[in-house]
């Protein structure tokens, strides 16, 4: 059924719009729809950090729990100058649906600190992280809320958070965060899980629409941890990477680019824009190059109703969270572009985070082959379930994914009952 065009730029308004579009297809009791739409709890903290020059700066951080119906909350921590409470709310909601689609025993959460980690020294970053972890420790715990890396954070940041929490408890608690280094309880396969998952989902989506991945042209916006791994994996599957970008620019070559060489260039110079081959393009232009598969793996709100009309891809695999606005979804749907939504396409990270948590709780660790096999099994199952709902309801994949997630959370809520 056609939806009216709604121009939405705020991430939280985007998330709500997506939710309400899908909730129409789910018979929810009075009040339950509203309960599922809004966060369970929100924490805002303002805290001091001693800088290297002896001065003190005040930073603002957030931690939002969207739902605890399916289990403890799970979600990353973002360090970025543009972090807002509404962005964190949206990301927490998307995490709820992502976990539900994957069949994980988690609710959704997200955290963030308003800062530019690139402008902080290692010591400043550690002090900021430890203070922020202390501030949100009232919510955090292996049975209550388990953070993970996101934009601007990495395994080292997770190690500092785990150590801080453990110091307060008096013993090591590795299961309090995921995405840690393997040396302190992390899981093999975690760092590349999101990008690998995007590639696996792209394989399933291509097969569903009759697109042969061998020789298929791929463009990737955001050549970070997610985008680079997705590009490398798709290239190994036989696809041809024709364009990539990062925050400083991008490069396009219709004859194909070597992802390994691109990664080496990024490590050496800090950006793929310095790659000597091909034509230099902007991050925005990468979304519009001739290609079969587009992977937006940067930040939210990148595909808008304006540029959606110029997207030439047949399939879009959302590596980032919320890269496509609701109005852009309408445009893409009218042009028969298949959009595999973020809550399905980039679920590989949270799935392997779940594996890491399980391994930490058991103090028994798996091989990388076991991790990959289990990851592929859950992603393929999730895609097939969402595709089935899409065909049965006659809706796009985003709506189908949300319907599947909302049904799963609502069913658990009805089964648990409303306390008291």
110 is catalytic: yes
pLDDT of residue 108: 98
What is the three-class DSSP state of 183? helix
Cα–Cα distance for residue pair 95/67, rounded to 1 Å: 9
pLDDT of residue 1: 33
pLDDT of residue 300: 86
pLDDT of residue 277: 93
Domain 39-174 matching CATH 3.40.50.10860: the answer reads yes
Measuring CA to CA, which residue among 415, 419, 400, 416 is closest to residue 101? Answer: 400
pLDDT of residue 29: 86
Measuring CA to CA, which residue among 347, 195, 219, 216 is closest to residue 288? Answer: 219
Cα–Cα distance for residue pair 404/311, rounded to 1 Å: 28
Residue 4 has pLDDT above 70, yes or no: no
For the chain, give every domain's residue range. 39-174, 193-345
Residue 3 has pLDDT above 80, yes or no: no
pLDDT digits (tens, 9 = 90+) for 162-193: 999 999 999 999 999 999 999 999 999 999 99
Pairing mode of beta strands 107-114, 249-252: unpaired
pLDDT of residue 278: 95
Confidence of residue 210 (pLDDT cuts 50, 70, 90): very high
3-class SS shares of the chain: helix, strand, coil, % to 5? 50, 15, 35
Q: Considering 98, 110, 180, 266, which one is annotated as catalytic? A: 110
Confidence of residue 43 (pLDDT cuts 50, 70, 90): very high
pLDDT of residue 299: 82
DSSP summary character for residue 257: -
Confidence of residue 401 (pLDDT cuts 50, 70, 90): very high
User: Which residues touch 364 (CB under 8 Å, ≥6 apart)?
Assistant: none
Stated pTM of the model: 0.93
Residue 56 has pLDDT above 90, yes or no: yes
Residue 135 has pLDDT above 80, yes or no: yes
Mean pLDDT of 363-380: 97
Residue 242 has pLDDT above 50, yes or no: yes
Domain 193-345 matching CATH 3.10.20.30: the answer reads no
Let me know if the fold of 39-174 is the same as that of 193-345: yes
pLDDT digits (tens, 9 = 90+) for 384-395: 999 999 999 999
pLDDT digits (tens, 9 = 90+) for 329-353: 999 999 999 999 999 999 999 999 9
């Amino acid at each position: 059924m056609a939806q009216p065009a709604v121009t939405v730029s705020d991430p939280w308004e985007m998330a709500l719009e997506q939710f309400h579009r899908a909730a129409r297809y789910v018979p929810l009791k009075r009040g339950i729809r509203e309960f599922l739409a809004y966060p369970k709890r929100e924490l805002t903290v303002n805290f001091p950090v001693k800088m290297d020059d002896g001065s003190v700066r005040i930073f603002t951080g957030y931690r939002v729990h969207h739902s605890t119906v399916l289990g403890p909350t799970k979600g990353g921590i973002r360090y970025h100058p543009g972090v807002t409470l509404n962005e964190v709310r949206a990301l927490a909601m998307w995490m709820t649906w992502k976990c539900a689609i994957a069949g994980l025993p988690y609710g959704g959460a997200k955290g963030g600190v308003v800062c530019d980690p690139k402008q902080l020294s290692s010591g400043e970053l550690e002090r900021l992280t430890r203070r922020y972890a202390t501030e949100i420790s009232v919510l955090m715990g292996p049975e209550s809320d388990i953070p993970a890396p996101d934009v601007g954070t990495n395994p080292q940041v997770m190690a500092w958070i785990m150590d801080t929490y453990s110091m307060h408890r008096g013993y090591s608690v590795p299961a309090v965060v995921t995405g840690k280094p393997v040396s302190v309880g992390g899981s093999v396969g975690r760092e590349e899980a999101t990008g690998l998952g995007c590639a696996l989902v792209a394989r399933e989506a291509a097969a569903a629409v009759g697109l042969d991945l061998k020789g298929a042209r791929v463009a990737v916006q955001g050549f970070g941890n997610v985008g680079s791994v997705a590009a490398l994996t798709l290239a190994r599957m036989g696809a041809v990477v024709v364009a990539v970008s990062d925050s400083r620019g991008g490069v396009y070559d219709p004859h194909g680019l070597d992802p390994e060489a691109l990664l080496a260039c990024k490590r050496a110079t800090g950006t793929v824009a310095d790659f000597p081959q091909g034509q230099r393009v902007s991050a925005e232009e990468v979304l519009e190059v001739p290609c079969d598969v587009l992977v937006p793996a940067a930040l939210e709100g990148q595909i808008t109703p304006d540029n959606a009309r110029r997207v030439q891809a047949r399939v879009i695999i959302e590596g980032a969270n919320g890269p496509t606005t609701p109005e852009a979804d309408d445009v893409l749907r009218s042009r028969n572009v298949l959009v595999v939504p973020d809550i399905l396409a980039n679920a590989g990270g949270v799935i392997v985070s779940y594996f890491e948590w399980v391994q930490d709780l058991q103090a028994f660790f798996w091989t990388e082959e076991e991790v990959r096999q289990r990851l592929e099994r859950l992603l393929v199952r999730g895609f097939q379930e969402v595709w089935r709902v899409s065909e049965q309801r006659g809706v796009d994949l985003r709506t189908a994914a949300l319907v599947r997630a909302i049904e799963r959370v609502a069913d658990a809520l009805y089964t648990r009952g409303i306390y008291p």
